[in-house]
């Protein structure tokens, strides 16, 4: 089992925000840019507007778990930043998982031969 590599540095986040492509839905916004490292790095950001620290951390945990379970579907060599929107505070795991998969499909960063489509 692979351990998810995360983005830590503010400069890495800024690079993804400035040069990456973004798409969003009701729960999440995803920025994606190629990193040239051969591995994916995941960054998760949830604003204070979403809620207190308990709620923000819950959203981060849900996004990280959804990514971890489907990590083998993603193309490699990407920096991915996921931003939680305010509606994600009340969403359950299924909604977050569907949002992540659908946005990844729209970014074309999921391998087509392993592609899954979840429907609400």
Residues 52-93: tens digit of each pLDDT: 999 999 999 999 999 999 988 888 888 999 999 999 999 999
Q: Is 44 a domain residue?
A: yes
pLDDT at 2: 58
CATH number of the domain to which 97 belongs: 3.30.230.10
Residue range 77-88, pLDDT digits in tens: 889 999 999 999
Counted domains in the chain:
1
Within a domain: 120: no
Is this structure's pTM higher than 0.75?
A: yes
Range of the domain at 90: 5-114
Task: Give CA separation, 115 vs 30, 43, 81, 108, in Å.
Answer: 18, 22, 21, 10
Helix (H, G, I), strand (E, B) or coil at 46: strand
CA distance 73 to 84: 21
In a domain, 119, yes or no: no
Is residue 94's pLDDT more than 90? yes
């Amino acid at each position: 089992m692979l351990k998810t590599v995360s983005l830590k540095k503010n400069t890495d986040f800024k690079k993804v925000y400035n040069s990456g492509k973004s798409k969003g839905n009701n729960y999440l916004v995803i920025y994606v840019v190629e990193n040239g490292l051969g591995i994916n790095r995941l960054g998760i950001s949830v604003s204070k507007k979403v809620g207190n620290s308990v709620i923000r951390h819950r959203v981060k945990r849900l996004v990280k778990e959804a990514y971890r379970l489907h990590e083998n579907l993603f193309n490699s060599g990407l920096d991915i930043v996921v931003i939680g929107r305010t509606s994600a505070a009340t969403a359950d795991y299924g909604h977050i998982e569907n949002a992540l998969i659908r946005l990844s499909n729209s970014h074309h960063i999921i391998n087509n031969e392993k592609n899954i489509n979840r429907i609400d």
